Amino acid sequence: MKRVIILGSTGSIGEQTLDVIRKFPSRYQVSGIIAGSRADRMREQAEEFNVEHTGLGAAEAVRMIRDVQADVVVNGITGSVGLGPTIAALKEGRTLALANKESLIVGGDLVTGLAAPGQIVPVDSEHSAIAQALRSGNAGEVRRLILTASGGPFRGRTRGELRDVTPEQASAHPTWNMGRVVTTNSATLMNKGLEVIEAHLLFGVSYGDIEVVVHPQSIVHSMVEFVDGSTIAQASPPDMRLPIALGLSWPDRLAGVGAPLDWRSASAWEFEPLDTETFPAVALAKEVGRARLTYPAAFNAANEEAVDAFHAGRIGFLDIVDIVRDVVEAHTAPTALTLEALGEAECWARERAQQVIAARSR
């Protein structure tokens, strides 16, 4: 029986992780849960799963990882605050089922340098799909990684048509049920930009060999193109329980996690190129990823500040990526990547973003 610590237990990833464990009670024991808020819901979870160790916040998460026996840590925290728990899990030798992409993106080489081979198992559906497809060949046979994107709620619109969209419209994702920040990032395609950086760090493929294609049905979760011209795609209904279950059991599969596709019914899958003029976040993310050091930390921090300002009605939708670009272009990175440098870069980026937001406020 595997012992599991769940970080962000009351969020979307945390609740769905508990759904998986609820279905396989003989395989998993919940050793500890951490919530960012909603302490009442966390107590309900602890009672149902007989969890002895509970806590609130990232600092409590780090202490729990160090003190509580566990085989797997599911990091479902949102934002760069998840970096400390990610580092703690790797240092303690736990398998890290990683949904908190920001901690990998911000931590960069600091995180990958701590991880043993196979210690980080991606939980994002796109990166889980790539990890599954990569089992079809060796590293030298890979030509490209192809990340699929739903296109979000504004697929097909021009840049001009996005000028006056509201936070409510940006929160209405056509496929996935996610938190406010991730859903807004999906609407700007910032989430896909972050996932490009994540794919580079997880799989060691150059940015020039990572592409994004729009696939509105969210059935094909990502693909790997091999040197012989073959493309291997992972397809399943849009249900996060499948990549979560793989995060818990990797490299093994659990029977009956979710319903498979119904091949007896007619269906059509669409693929279209990304509109980089309307959605420039992916290209910006590649620039940031190539720059390395503290640039991804500044990129992510500025985006978090801009998303908050958008939902507060202080800036428009199109301002989000423009503000992030302004912050990144003004950033000067140190010569070496350290935790102290990351912290300083994040603080600087948030202050700079707030200055730009104030100048743009309506």
Domain boundary among 219, 249, 279: 249
244 and 337 housed in the same domain:
no
Q: With contact defined as beta carbons under 8 Å apart, do 299 and 346 qualify? A: no
For residue 228, being part of any structural domain is answered with no
Strand 142-149 relative to strand 220-226: parallel, antiparallel, unpaired?
antiparallel
Strand 2-7 relative to strand 28-35: parallel, antiparallel, unpaired?
parallel
245 and 353 housed in the same domain:
no
Contacts of the segment 186-190: beta carbons below 8 A, 24+ positions apart: 186/150, 186/152, 187/152, 187/153, 187/154, 187/317, 188/152, 188/279, 188/281, 188/317, 188/320, 188/321, 189/149, 189/152, 189/274, 189/279, 189/281, 189/282, 190/281, 190/285, 190/303, 190/320, 190/321, 190/324
For residue 34, being part of any structural domain is answered with yes
Domain boundary among 249, 284, 315: 249
For residue 9, being part of any structural domain is answered with yes
Instruction: Flag whether pLDDT at 269 surpasses 60.
Output: yes
245 and 336 housed in the same domain:
no
Mean pLDDT of 237-252: 96
What whole-number distance in Å separates Cα of residue 66 and Cα of residue 61? 9
The pLDDT-based confidence of 45 (bands split at 50, 70, 90) is very high
pLDDT of residue 176: 57
30 and 100 housed in the same domain:
yes
What whole-number distance in Å separates Cα of residue 155 and Cα of residue 167? 16
For residue 183, being part of any structural domain is answered with no
26 and 103 housed in the same domain:
yes
12 and 107 housed in the same domain:
yes
For residue 147, being part of any structural domain is answered with no
The percentage of the chain sitting over the pLDDT mark of 90, rounded to a whole number, equals 94
360 and 304 housed in the same domain:
yes
* Host domain of residue 68: 2-123+240-249
Residue 104 sits in a domain of what CATH number? 3.40.50.720
pLDDT of residue 78: 87
What whole-number distance in Å separates Cα of residue 227 and Cα of residue 12? 37
Q: With contact defined as beta carbons under 8 Å apart, do 74 and 99 qualify? A: yes
Contacts of the segment 242-245: beta carbons below 8 A, 24+ positions apart: 242/125, 242/128, 243/122, 243/123, 243/124, 243/125, 243/128, 243/129, 244/13, 244/16, 244/17, 244/20, 244/74, 244/97, 244/99, 244/123, 245/20
Distances 322 to 130, 281, 285 between C-alpha atoms, Å: 30, 9, 13
Mean pLDDT of 85-106: 97
Mean pLDDT of 220-232: 98
For residue 226, being part of any structural domain is answered with no
6 and 99 housed in the same domain:
yes
Q: How many domains is the chain built from?
A: 2
8 and 119 housed in the same domain:
yes
112 and 10 housed in the same domain:
yes
Instruction: Flag whether pLDDT at 229 surpasses 80.
Output: yes
Residue-wise pLDDT tens digits, 172-199: 866 655 668 888 999 999 999 999 999 9
Cα-to-chain-centroid distance, residue 285: 14
Distances 350 to 133, 191, 327 between C-alpha atoms, Å: 37, 19, 9
Residue-wise pLDDT tens digits, 158-175: 999 999 999 999 988 666
Mean pLDDT of 142-159: 94
Instruction: Flag whether pLDDT at 332 surpasses 60.
Output: yes
What whole-number distance in Å separates Cα of residue 318 and Cα of residue 340? 32
pTM for the complete prediction?
0.94
244 and 353 housed in the same domain:
no
Instruction: Flag whether pLDDT at 234 surpasses 90.
Output: yes
Instruction: Flag whether pLDDT at 86 surpasses 60.
Output: yes
pLDDT of residue 180: 80
304 and 245 housed in the same domain:
no
Cβ partners under 8 Å of residue 327, min gap 6: 298, 299, 301, 302, 349, 352, 353, 356
Instruction: Flag whether pLDDT at 306 surpasses 80.
Output: yes
Distances 121 to 25, 116, 164, 222 between C-alpha atoms, Å: 21, 11, 39, 16
Mean pLDDT of 212-222: 97
Residue 313 sits in a domain of what CATH number? 1.10.1740.10
Domain boundary among 249, 273, 304: 249
For residue 12, being part of any structural domain is answered with yes
For residue 272, being part of any structural domain is answered with no
The residue among 176 and 233 whose pLDDT is bigger is: 233
Instruction: Flag whether pLDDT at 94 surpasses 90.
Output: yes
Residue-wise pLDDT tens digits, 11-39: 999 999 999 999 999 999 999 999 988 99
What whole-number distance in Å separates Cα of residue 212 and Cα of residue 215? 10
